[in-house]
Structure formats: C-alpha cells, structure tokens
Amino acid sequence: MADFHLTRLSAAPPATVWDVVTDFAAYGDWMPLTRMRLDTGEPRLGWGFAGFSGLGPVGFSDSMLVSAWAPPGDDGRGTFRIVKTGRLLGGWAEVRVEPEGTGTRLDWQEGVVVRPLPFKRLFGPLLTRASEWLYGRAVDAMIARAEQRARSAGPEGGR
C-alpha cells in the first residue's frame, strides 16, 4: 500500500483551488499518458470517473467513485473523498481546501493498493515513492493553475 499526504499553500482563494482540483476532466493534464472518462453531470456523492493510463489500448483504468462531497461554504472549507474501484488499483483519496492567511491550504491524502494483493509487498515501497513524486507534480501544477486563474480574475482573486 502506498500512503502519502501532500500539503501545499496557494495564494489563490479556496473556491478557485477547489474549482481546479475538482475539475476531474483536466486530470489528464496532470497525469502523463492519461485520458479521462467521467459520468454525466456534476460531481456529487456516488458520481464516478476513471483515468485510463497507457499508450493506445495498452494500459490500465483507475476508476473512482465520489464517497464524500462538501464544496467550500462561507468559511472557505471544502472536502471530497473518492474510493478507487479498479481491478488493478484500490484505495482512497481525500482532498481538503481551507483558508490559510490570504490564500489556501490544500491537503491531499491518499492510500493506494495494488491488486492482486501479493504485489503489495513487492511494489509497496516503490509505489509510495512514485506516487508522492507523481501526485506532488500534479498537485503543484493544479496550484499553479489556480494561482494563474486568481491573477487573471484581478484584485478579488476570483472570489
């Protein structure tokens, strides 16, 4: 199992960071060689999406379901949780945004299990390091996009 926790601070307001990290269609921008498939409608409890990572037909699907959904309210705090339901990858992810100073704190926690389980011991340490690096890059890119949107929105930062 790969368990990791990433924290990032952003100058962008919580609503802008939330909009970027919940734009699941854009996850292909953050993850190399990944195409996204989304359920219809807006994200909500029980809504699903999947990333297919690979070249052409060779690869794997990382399917997920939203198991908690609470967009930022007046206090600027929001959270969502997904459960990984794929044949190769299981686990969960929980993402939180909250005000921090004049910007936002983003916490991204994830636990990933490689199936079948005998691979867990063999690939666990490598998967943890690879996941921290890959998701770290992705979260950094999301923060950069949120900050770019906030700057483009002007002095109010998209509020």
Mean pLDDT for 129-134 is 80
Q: Tokens at residue 132, please?
A: 């921290």
**What H or E segment, with its residue span, contains residue 153?**
helix 118-153
Residue 86: partners with Cβ closer than 8 Å, 6 or more residues away: 50, 60, 61, 62, 63, 64, 115
Going by pLDDT thresholds of 50, 70 and 90, the confidence category of residue 159 is: very low
Q: Provide the β-strand partners of residue 36.
A: 51
Q: What is the pLDDT of residues 59-116, one digit of tens each?
A: 888 999 999 999 999 999 999 999 999 888 889 999 999 999 999 999 999 998 877 6
